[in-house]
Structure 1
């Protein structure tokens, strides 16, 4: 925060989210991944009751376009107003070449009117893209559409039950415009540590010669330790850079990998339950879509007030991690 306003002046103009396909219960996935196991015990362990898996034939482009249309509608903008489109996902999108963002732009009838780019920073990807979009808006390139689409169901199988029982599909989008007054990012702090990149992996088929499956490379205990340390450092640094304490934060939107880890992160951060928008129990672990889905639900709930401050913190494979504080304008 500077004497004249936020570190990065910007404004969230609208948001949208989509949960594709039917809701799949933990009892259903338990029967396939852990035959004979009590599904209630698995619900207790993961904190996940349902997740959505997209129907066959669903593409990243179609799912992302649906979420982006909702965000544009709520922002009161036509797609043609966009000057930049950033597509985020953890799994490579529909194609490695060209960027999936091109197909999204085509679905929105954007032909030569803006740049369309893909971005992948694992579960921290939304914050990374939001930082890029905010800096674009602050320097005159706006509005910017940021859309996350995650189709984890493409990369799961019961034979690898650790991933099979927790991941779900989702898409979420925000439209970023220029800030007014004191609204914008009061801080944005993002980091990566490649030495820890083996925690969660999804290899290219060219490297393995096999179907790409999400795999956990270390124990749950190790993942929890790495994630907790990264989130705590991210929150602490983002708050310090914003010159705020946790008590001065109105809403906290952390990445939600599973219910048990979310509970641990909330305790370690010292966050009151009323400041959270919990979604993991309903949608499972949805990668980079976790934070924007909870942000969209907060935005549409009517509970967000002008001048309030939102702390977003994430951690993902890479290991990627970071935090940012967004100060809402007087008319959110």
Structure 2
């Protein structure tokens, strides 16, 4: 009881195939300038027919475990945050098998673009109560499976990828300083991937559902308004709980949905733009993968250093949003 949390490793993976803005301009009425000006995106990585979410997750996980300096058999819990599993029953167990984490229990967590933050907070409860000591958290999505490639408003936004971190229990100083979580189901229709049912007569007047999931549907204007209003509030509350001010934050790590959203959030929090961690130009919106993907790039690129204080926030479908303040390493 009373264990703290140390984030000791990170890793990421993305498909090799790159879909550029110029490629999209050949598919729908758009241009590199139009996309980049409105979103900050230039490229996104797209999984090939032979690549799976489980495979991407496994690579990201192995990289994170290697950085943490522990054995894969030391992992006792795996939480896979995803909205696009390979198997509707969940893919966390498949990832467990791929990496050989034979001592770990594994489950999926679905909270769309907030998934990674929600998974980190969930893992922290297991660690703090002493139930598990070494937890692997993965954020991964293959949204290219669910995009309407003829819809200019949405097809330019999404890419595929996976990111992971290792959290370990520690009796030294707790590195997870505070967190906030929220949901607002009354705005569910602003961003969703709905199931559309159709009737299938069975026998004796009994009818069952037999339908399909539809492509991603989004009201971009409403999502923008929601994020710019709610994300600074969630981070501000988390900073208050941690007894921190904007000057204490070394890096702002947001879900990579839109560069303009990230800039607006930083401005409201009075955090300088140069403290924003962003790789949206290369990967686009990778949903639950976006925060750990950006973190891994910043750590391996030498930006984020041990002891740095990071304010992170995920936000998206549900609608859900949350924040976490933590120190790296």
TM-score when normalising by structure 2: 0.90
CA contact (8 A) 1:8 1:184 kept: no
Shift of residue 118, structure 1, vs aligned partner: 0.3
Unaligned runs of 5+ in 2: 199-209
**Contact kept in structure 2, 1:8 and 1:186, CA below 8 Å:** no
- Show the counterpart of 1:94: 86
Q: Secondary structure at the match of 2:140?
A: strand
Aligned CA RMSD, in angstroms, stands at 1.8
Per the alignment, residue 40 of structure 1 pairs with 33
Cα distance in structure 2, aligned partners of 1:281 and 1:30: 16
2:217 counterpart (192, 215, 218): 215
Aligned to 1:158: 149
Question: How many matched pairs?
Answer: 316
Q: Against the structure 1 CA distance between its residues 196 and 25, is the aligned structure 2 distance closer, same or farther, given a 3 Å change threshold?
A: same
Q: Is 1:21 the equivalent of 2:16?
A: yes
Distance 2:196 2:277 in 1: 36
Asked if the contact 1:8–1:134 (Cα under 8 Å) also holds between the matched residues in 2, the reply is: no
* 1:63 aligns with one of 53, 56, 60: 56
Q: Is the 1:86–1:101 Cα contact (8 Å) retained in structure 2?
A: yes
Paired residues for 1:219-230 under 5 Å:
220-230=220-230
| Structure 1 segments unaligned to the other structure (5+ residues) | 1-6
CA distance in 2, matches of 1:244, 1:321: 20
Q: For 1:190-213, what per-residue CA distance to the aligned partner results, in whole angstroms no more than 9, with x for missing partners?
A: 111111111111123657834531
Match of residue 117 from structure 2: 127
Tell me which residue corresponds to 2:5: 10
> Match of 1:307, SS?
coil
Does the 8 A contact of 1:11 with 1:180 survive in 2? no
Q: Is contact 1:187–1:242 with CA below 8 Å preserved after alignment? A: yes
Name the CA distance, whole Å, in 1 between partners of 2:249 and 2:3. 18
Q: Deviations over 1:107-131 (max 9, x none)?
A: 12234x2211000111111011001
Flag the 1:68–1:244 CA change in 2: closer, same or farther, 3 A. same
| Most deviating of 176-185 and 238-247 | 176-185
| TM value normalised by structure 1 | 0.90
Distance 1:30 1:211 in 2: 27
Q: Deviations over 1:33-69 (max 9, x none)?
A: 21xx433222212211111001112111111111101
Contact 2:250 2:309 in 1 (8 A): yes
| 51, 74, 77: which one aligns with 2:70 | 77
Secondary structure at the counterpart of residue 324 of structure 2: strand
Rounded Cα–Cα distance in structure 1 between residues aligned with 2:310 and 2:31: 38
Structure 1 segment 222-301 matched on structure 2, within 5 A: 222-301=222-301
Are the equivalent residues in 2 in contact too, given 1:138–1:179 (CA < 8 A)?
Answer: no
Return closer, same or farther for 1:42/1:302 CA change in 2, 3 Å cut-off.
closer
Residue aligning to 1:197: 188
Partner of 1:3: none
Aligned equivalents of 1:73, 1:269: Cα separation in 2: 35
Maintained 8 Å contact 1:8/1:135: no
Q: Secondary structure, in 3 states, of the residue corresponding to 1:74?
A: helix
CA contact (8 A) 1:160 1:215 kept: no
Offset at residue 260 of structure 1 (A): 2.4
Shift of 1:160: 1.9
The whole-number CA distance in structure 1 between the counterparts of 2:97 and 2:122 is 22
The structure with the largest strand share of the pair is 2
